[in-house]
Structure 1
Amino acid sequence: MFIKTRTNVYRTTYHLVWVTKYRKPIFIDEASRQAMKSILREIAERNDITIFEMEVVADHIHMVVSFPPHNSISSVMKALKGPSAREWFKQFPATKELLWGGALWSGSYFASTVGDVSQAIVLEYVQNQLTDYNSGRPRRDSSPG
């Protein structure tokens, strides 16, 4: 999908993942997951970030997004993580007590470009996080050695 602006047309798609501080399971029910999705949608809209797919798992976030090429990945991550934590703590102040030091997110993140051929696979992967992928954590291999 091409995105058109007054000055350019682009198709840059990224798979972004970030985790809660200490991988604490914060988004443990549907209401909390929906609240975080709503927060992230509002932030994305304010920052010209197009969300193709998003899943909030107990201890991390997956997003498939596009944003104008003049924005860096680090600036987009800063725009998503900082404001989402502030808004989350406004809505759910008791959550701070679960996190040492009061930070919602770990300082790191994962970002990968998504090509035309593999985008469908990444979208399906994100859509099925809660049902097919053990809440986003790798399944343990029970085979010997």
Structure 2
Amino acid sequence: MSQNSKYIHKSHNVTVLLYHFVSSAKYRRVVITDSVDKVLIEVCDDIEKRYEVNFLEVGTDKDHVHFLIQSVPSYSITKIVTMIKSIIAREIFKRCPEVKKQLWGGEFWGKGYFVNTVGQHGTEKVIANYVKGQGIEKDYKKLKKNNQLKLF
């Protein structure tokens, strides 16, 4: 296990549940700008304060976002993805109204997403390197890296 994740100790279990989650903007539009990056990180920090979700790494590539997250077993991956997508979309539309115009007043995220558990196809480090190599013209920009987990 790398230095980024730690065992989460709860009253009746100990877990290390890591997920690589990717979601694209609606219509794969290039709407992820520096102002969106800023809102994205602020919202991820706020989510960490309110929910048992920790963002180990967040990165953008103009039309999609990669998340490396750790959570607890009481949160299904569907719950985690739905929560992250809905809160981020609401806040981006509120704080960056130009994005809502670019998407014709519709939704921020496309319907689909990709999720993989870290460890199924590689270590946390392998997945982090894979995330860096994805995207349009390799324009991946790491926005956040957290090397220490909080105990929930």
TM-score by length of 2: 0.77
Could you say which structure has the higher helix fraction? Answer: 1
Query: Which of structures 1 and 2 has the larger relative contact order (alpha carbons within 8 angstroms, sep 6+)?
Result: 2
Aligned residues: 134
Alignment correspondent of 2:101: 97
Alpha-carbon distance in structure 1 between the residues aligned to 2:45 and 2:131? 16
Q: Which amino acid aligns with 1:44?
A: E
| Alignment deviations for residues 14-59 of structure 1 (CA, whole Å, 9 cap, x no partner) | 1000010001111133x43122122122123312101111112211
Segments of 4+ moved more than 6 angstroms: none
Larger Rg over CA atoms: 1
| Counterpart for residue 46 of structure 1 | 50
Q: Please say if residues 54 and 126 of structure 1, whose CA atoms lie closer than 8 Å, have aligned partners that are also in contact.
A: no
Secondary structure class of the residue paired with 1:70: coil
Pair 1:6 & 2:11 matched? yes
Q: CA RMSD in A?
A: 2.2
| C-alpha deviation, 1:134, in angstroms | 1.6
State which of 39, 52, 58 in structure 1 corresponds to 2:62: 58
Structure 1: which 5+ residue stretches go unaligned?
Answer: 137-145
CA separation in 1, counterparts of 2:81 and 2:130? 21
